[in-house]
Amino acid sequence: MLLPLLALAAVQATPTAPPVEHPPHVIAGGPGAMADGPMRQMMMDYRACIDSHVAATPATVTAEAGAASVIAACKSQHDALYAQMSVMAAALPADRQEEIKARIAERDAGMAARIAEHIRTARAGAVAPAR
User: What does the alpha-carbon distance between residue 121 and residue 76 come to, in Å, rounded to a whole number?
Assistant: 25
Question: Quick check: is 2 in a domain?
Answer: no
Question: Quick check: is 64 in a domain?
Answer: yes
Measured at the alpha carbon of residue 104, what is the angle toward residues 102 and 109, in degrees to the nearest 5? 95
Question: Quick check: is 4 in a domain?
Answer: no
* pLDDT at residue 96 is higher than 70: yes
Average pLDDT (120-124) is 92
Question: Quick check: is 107 in a domain?
Answer: yes
Q: Return the pLDDT at 77.
A: 93
Domain total in the chain: 1
Decide: 63 and 120 in contact? Cβ < 8 Å. yes
- Domain span at residue 75 reads 9-122
Question: Quick check: is 46 in a domain?
Answer: yes
One-letter amino acid of 124: A
Average pLDDT (90-109) is 86
